[in-house]
Amino acid sequence: MIVADLPPIFYRVLALVFGALWGSFFNVAIYRWPRDMSVVSPPSHCPACGAAVPWYRNLPILAFALQRGRAACCGAKMTPRYLLVEILGAVIALAVMERTLRLAGVDAPITPTLLEALTLFVFGGALLVAAFIDLEHMIIPDEVTLPGAALGLATVALRPDLDAADAALGAGVGYLTVQVLFVWSYEAVTGRRGMGEGDSKLLLLIGAFVGWQGSLFALVGGAMQGLVVAILAIALRRRMAPADEVSDDQGPFNQPGPVEARCEDREGAIAPLLEEPAEVEAAEESEEDEEPLVAPRKLPFGPFLALAALEWLFFGPTILDWYVGLFMTP
């Protein structure tokens, strides 16, 4: 059976549904892994009142929309992240499917083509989970990066655009570039780490899937995009903060952020998040009422690494051609 035996709409609908369903699991991982909780047990339950969530109230995207962003059991407000992650899961799955079918061609056998798409979706899902955990907690759990990197190396035969040597080299280059230059060497010179080990392990994962060129692009491209956002955050903070609170030492560059400090003590870093969910939500609402909205002082690096890795996955040849044309032409 070949790709052409099934209509294109079949692959697209399959990807969207599959991605949204796994997006629901990604939300579970994003919530539980930083809290050292199992993603298997207990079953889905409301974080506010603890009531079990039946399957029909856990349908991706639809449940959030039909319940208007509130829990059906107690009416507690649900974070929009649930909806966003499920939508992004569907979008990543569709993009991976389109990429795989385009490169494979209509005469390709359907089974290895779908297996390739599946492995790339796992890669995209791991990046999604890592990015959102890093955004919330400033950590990237090993549960995401290490199994993901192992899977990338073990399934390289399913991806014809990458060979085993390139995958291994990419994983090594990605990990060691950050670990040697920005963790060990930076710490030896300054007494503090320039980047966290979570970032180096994330690049280990990225390199295993996209090779050494992709891992270097993720590092450089992620840093450039992160720098742009950091500059915008400084400008936004100065614009929105009261005049007597604005000083020269404010901003992402002078706070322990993604390139200066990473949570070394996971338990200490997330201790406030281990309180009862209802109490946390009430505290957050109280803080929102009292404090003005200002730009964050700390920006994690993981989301920018993940974004750049996805850019390389989907637009790598275009980016490479643009770079060569920009710098190599006489």
pLDDT at 297: 61
83 within 8 A of 23, measured Cβ to Cβ = no
The amino acid that residue 287 corresponds to is: E
Measured between alpha carbons, how far is 2 from 9 in angstroms, rounded to an integer?
A: 15
- The reported pLDDT for the residue numbered 83 is 95
| pLDDT higher than 90, residue 267 | no
The fraction of the chain above a pLDDT of 90, given in percent, is 58
Place of tokens 């083509």: 113
Q: What is the DSSP letter of 254?
A: G
pLDDT in the model for residue 58: 84
The runs of H, that is alpha helices, within 138-163 are 142-154
Taking 80 as the threshold, does the pLDDT of residue 178 lie above it?
Answer: yes
Give pTM, 2 decimals. 0.81
Q: Cβ(206)–Cβ(305) under 8 Å?
A: yes
Q: What does residue 275 show for φ and ψ, rounded to 5 degrees?
A: -75, 170
Q: Please determine, for residue 127, whether its predicted confidence score (pLDDT) is greater than 50.
A: yes
CA distance 21 to 202: 24
The average confidence (pLDDT) of the chain is 83
Asked if 98 and 231 touch (Cβ cutoff 8 Å), the reply is no
